[in-house]
Chains A and B, each alone.
Chain A
């Protein structure tokens, strides 16, 4: 440039100023275009007024730009910019493409619509994920989705309560009921057409100590008229939703490997069992003396699917509360919800062969409930027989030792012989 600078210097010295002016103007013009058409017009007017006397208008002049061969180029540029901007906004779901999200941002409109059979007029309200003052309960939060027709779906994040005499037992009433099937894939969770729960995988939040329950998302979608028919379509919706909640929570903690859609691997829901006299709840060898007893109990429902964290046998269920439940909590992380209760539930149950420093576990017997928490190779396992009231004290007492012994054998935790208090 310096070699050419000298000879041309004088010739274009007038133009030099003009060029530098031009450049400023161009810069202004560019800014103006990006701001809006009005600004371009104002700027253009000023320029045209100024340079009316000058012979040909410079190429960047707005009049020249809006006609002749520059016009298509300008139009293309504007259209391109608009398209690009729109595309970016759409991708980023910003501006007019912003979507409403519900339940801590986990559900987009499609997720919510999926839960409500395609209806999109759903209102949501929520309590954000928060901790108590000393973070002793773990994070918790709640969310409610409400349709104008009065349909309601609730979601909750909480650590399963393992303290104070079995608050978890109430949760277990509904969320471990025999209508639930395991979510599978090695994940700790279950789902039915009205309830779903799923623990946040340990790979993301770490393993809890044995004094803390697992951190779970659970969902409730009301009640059905109780029978053994589980609507698999509804169940798939809840399963997808609860997995979405957990995946969103994990993503927020930097765990970028989501749980895949579990619906394909869900087992068939449980159906009422034709109970044999010597196989109550399908447990071979478990029987109750007396002829009329079979008719007194309604037909039982037993947890379906393989590798379930619990095996529950419910009968005569009214609003989630079974009149009689026989349950084995096989997953040690879940059995924790009965750990507190096992220490102080009632008169003590011990196991045969216990010595001073080595015991098989601990348990209790009450009129309405018998429980034994055994230490197995897999960890703690809960065996539980529970009636809705004290009216079946004799049955509870008869069932518990036999049920625990047979179930312990099934799990490879036998022999387990319980000693009941007199």
Chain B
């Protein structure tokens, strides 16, 4: 600084003299040492890029930190170069309410030379709270997370995720007073362009990123709600397995479920567009989603849900369904559409069904949702019996002799 220009010089000498005077005292030496130390540590933090005052933003109750890993929190979240913004709204759960919600909005745009503009608006909604009260809502809600392309979270966490949504059940200590488990859910949406042919799938950075976001929100939420444990939840390992690609033709039954013949009930044209998505198939979870792929020729923007079924017996996940089917024999569900002869308990209504039965010594839930086509009940029976057979237990649906066990 001194000697930058001759005009500075007088002040410079003064300062120099003052510094000299300071150094003469012992205190001065100490101060000098301190300055040196600060300079050195400053250089060190600069060199190692670990500046403590980096001013990183935090979102969603402070659970998520900018650039902390998941793509949506980094620079790669922005699709456009201009007008980049990332904001969050919502409130954390409290010890009283035990419900929280947060919405993260990422937006940007690109303007092209010809005046064309491309806008990006990605929203990520996180909810903290118990499952929906109404049975129909609850089955559809849980099924929506467990089905399709969802895979179990790594490290044995009780939950599932795919690339843009996920669910995590919190430990028992966070259950509501009436004993219902609390869950954290995450849903991401991409606002479609006005003239876009296809709705875009938001990219948060992969299913592991979704798992990380869920766990971070869960930890912060539990803290705010006053049910945090000694150790925060942790997702450490990589995702071992990804879901299969959707199949367009079924060999040996839809989703490899023996006897599940869906194409046979469709006209030839539609049958060609059917897509089968096998989700997880393991001891805790199995899912099958059948869609009619959108036809751009017919101006369809999204796939049509045809059949969705899930088997789940991870104890914390099935606990979310507790109370949904209390004391109602599945043979006589109020307003139900399922026929007689189901094993265990169950309940069904418009567009959903839930059956719970013991299977090879473990309580197991079978659910279907989102469809009310004529044959959906039959498909569900075939699915349930085939899965029960795979798990090594007695059929749950009636008519197992002519369905399910045929092969």
Contact = CB atoms under 8 A, between A and B. Distances in A.
Interface of A: 1, 4-5, 8-9, 12, 15-16, 19-20, 22-24, 59, 69-70, 72-73, 76-77, 80-81, 84, 88, 91, 185-188, 201-204, 206-207, 209, 250, 255-260, 353, 358-360, 375-379, 411-415
A207 B245 contact: yes
Contact of A186 (B33, B207, B241, B391): B241
A84 B237 contact: no
A417 B187 CA distance: 45
Contacts of A88: 44, 47
Interface in B41-71: 44, 47-48, 69
B208 interface: yes
Interface string B198-230: 000000001110000000000000000000000
Q: Which of B236, B240, B244, B386 has the most CB of A within 10 A?
A: B240
Contact of B252 (A70, A84, A260, A360): A360
Given A186-B241, A377-B281, 8 more contacts: A1-B10, A80-B37, A185-B237, A203-B239, A204-B238, A358-B252, A375-B252, A414-B389
B226 to A, nearest CB: 30
Contact of B240 (A72, A186, A379): A186
Contact of B7 (A5, A22, A375, A411): A5
B323 interface: no
Contacts of B11: 1, 4
Contact of A359 (B20, B32, B48, B252): B252
A69 B236 contact: no
A203 to B, nearest CB: 3
Nearest 7 CB-CB pairs, A to B? A203-B239, A412-B390, A23-B3, A186-B240, A207-B242, A201-B238, A202-B242
20 contacts: A19-B12, A20-B6, A69-B24, A73-B32, A76-B33, A76-B36, A80-B37, A80-B40, A88-B47, A186-B240, A201-B238, A202-B241, A203-B207, A207-B244, A257-B235, A258-B238, A358-B251, A358-B252, A377-B281, A415-B407
A163 B8 CA distance: 79
Contacts of B282: 378
A19 B16 CA distance: 10
B256 interface: yes
B83 interface: no
B256 A379 contact: yes
A412 B392 contact: yes
A187 to B, nearest CB: 5
A377 B10 contact: no
B375 interface: no
B44 A84 contact: yes
A202 B237 contact: no
Contact of B3 (A19, A77, A81): A19
Contacts of A250: 238
Contacts of B36: 76-77, 80
B330 interface: no
B6 A16 contact: yes
Contacts of A8: 10
Contacts of A188: 240
Nearest to A24: B3
B105 interface: no
Nearest to A361: B252
B20 A59 contact: yes
Q: Is the interface of B mostly helix, strand, loop or mixed?
A: helix
A17 B3 CA distance: 10
A197 to B, nearest CB: 15
B154 A186 contact: yes
Contacts of B281: 377-379
B133 interface: no
A397 B20 CA distance: 99
A379 B241 CA distance: 14
Contacts of B20: 59
Given A69-B24, A187-B240, A20 B390 contact: no
A81 B241 CA distance: 50
B237 A257 contact: yes
Contacts of B197: none
Contacts of A260: 236-237
Contacts of A411: 390
B103 to A, nearest CB: 27
Contacts of A203: 154, 206-208, 238-242
Interface string B3-41: 100111111110010001001100001001100110010
B89 interface: no
A412 B389 contact: yes
B10 A12 contact: yes
Contact of A15 (B13, B69, B258, B406): B13
Contacts of B32: 73
A4 to B, nearest CB: 7
Contact of A376 (B13, B240, B256): B256
Interface in B247-274: 251-253, 255-258
A121 B218 CA distance: 49
B295 interface: no
Q: Which of B2, B242, B282 has the most CB of A within 10 A?
A: B242
A12 B17 CA distance: 13
Nearest to B13: A19
A360 B40 contact: no
A379 B255 CA distance: 9
A145 B59 CA distance: 49
B122 interface: no
Given A73-B33, A207-B245, A259 B237 contact: yes
Interface string B129-157: 00000000000000000000000001000
A209 B258 CA distance: 23
A73 B16 CA distance: 17
A359 B253 CA distance: 10
Contacts of B7: 1, 5
B237 A412 contact: no
B407 A353 contact: yes
A260 B240 CA distance: 12
A180 to B, nearest CB: 18
B243 interface: yes
Contacts of A91: 48
Contacts of A77: 36
B186 to A, nearest CB: 17
A16 B9 contact: yes
Given A5-B10, A260-B237, A359 B33 contact: no
B396 to A, nearest CB: 14
A413 B206 CA distance: 32
A76 B34 CA distance: 11
Nearest to A250: B238
A377 B241 contact: no
Nearest to A201: B238
Contact of B236 (A59, A187, A204, A257): A257
A222 B36 CA distance: 57
